[in-house]
Amino acid sequence: MSVGCGIDLGSRSVKLAVLDNNKIIELKKFDTIQFYRDFGRRVEGQLVIDWAGLGVVEADYVVSTGYGRNALDLAGAKIMPEIKAHVVGAVYQTGLKNFTLLDLGGQDSKIVKVVEGRAADFLTNDKCAASSGRYLENMAHVLGMSLGELGRYWQDPVELNSTCAVFGESEIIGKIVDGNPMPNLAAGVNYTIFKRIQPMLRKLMSPVLVFTGGVAHNRALREIICAASAVELVIPEHPQFNGAIGCAVSGAKG
């Protein structure tokens, strides 16, 4: 049987999923900059990857998706559209066919209505990435806590209103000065993400919501979503690898 590798070239991290006979045998994540610097080389306009250096099993086929694919032609790889990769990944991981997919990554917020295993409609953030993981990273840094710690708070959120994620930093510094407790500030940050995705979510809602992307690890956001809407929230086993898994799965189908 064939071994397939899916690569999701994200803005913050590169995710690899290796499948053997449709079973996940390996998942690896690299910092995006580090990945290109240490394991990638440009040869005649194509990105050639040092597979041995990566320490990943050599695959019979490679399928890639993500931001990078528009700028980089990955040598020897088939490319697939991101939304499709995420839908295939979510169907594979959850076994569901009808649901709304919420994918919150480093820069992207994607909401896809999935009907009978296929994308029926989708919305994404545009012009502004203040609803993404990168915003959480920045805010965690300002608050002096880890991403894991930040994701623990959802009660009594402090209201944050800046449109701009960078101005959001000075806004939160003002709130610190005002003496707001850290848990409320952290809850405010998490709630901000929800407010930005809520209009898109409402347009494409289904009874089941599958939540993927790195931000799915944020427990607070999961609690906020459940409290605000009567949905069954499903987090696949590997939310951050969903796109890479989708690539590997669809490659197996030929």
Q: Which residues bind other proteins (CB under 8 A)?
A: 67, 70-71, 81-84, 118-124, 126-127, 203
Contact call for residues 85 and 77 (beta carbons, < 8 A): no
Residue closer to other proteins, measured from CB, 13 or 65 = 65
Q: Specify burial of residue 77 (Cβ count, 10 A radius: 0-12, 13-18, 19+).
A: buried
201 vs 224 by CB, closer to other proteins: 201
- Whether 102 and 212 have beta carbons less than 8 Å apart is answered as yes
What CA–CA distances, in Å, run from 185 to 14, 34, 205?
Answer: 30, 32, 29
Taking every pair of Cα atoms in the chain, the longest distance, rounded to a whole number of angstroms, is 62
Whether the CB-CB separation of 93 and 37 falls below 8 Å is answered with no
Nearer to other proteins, 41 or 203 (CB): 203
- In the block, residue with structure tokens 């939310």: 239
Q: Render 132-181 in DSSP notation, one character per residue.
A: SHHHHHHHHHHHT--HHHHTT--SSPPP---SSHHHHHHHHHHHHHTT--
Nearest CA to 9 among 247, 250, 202? 247
Rounded to a whole number of angstroms, the minimum distance from the CB of residue 149 to other proteins is 31
- Closest approach, Cβ 204 to other proteins, in A, equals 11
For residue 106, the minimal CB distance to other proteins (Å) is: 13
**Closer CB to other proteins, residue 70 or residue 170?**
70
Smallest separation (angstroms) from other proteins to the CB of 122: 6
Do the beta carbons of residue 215 and residue 58 sit within 8 Å? no
Pairing of strands 3-9, 13-20: antiparallel
CB of 137 to other proteins, least distance (A): 20
Query: Measured from the CB of residue 96, what is the shortest distance to other proteins in angstroms?
Result: 18
Instruction: State which residue, 92 or 122, has the beta carbon closest to other proteins.
Output: 122
Nearer to other proteins, 71 or 230 (CB): 71
Q: Residue 148's CB: how many other CB atoms inside 10 A?
A: 11
Token digits for 76? 């020897």
Q: How far apart are CA 183 and CA 166, in angstroms?
A: 21
Using the minimum distance from each CB to other proteins, give the nearer residue, 17 or 83: 83
Shortest distance, CB of residue 174 to other proteins, whole angstroms? Answer: 23
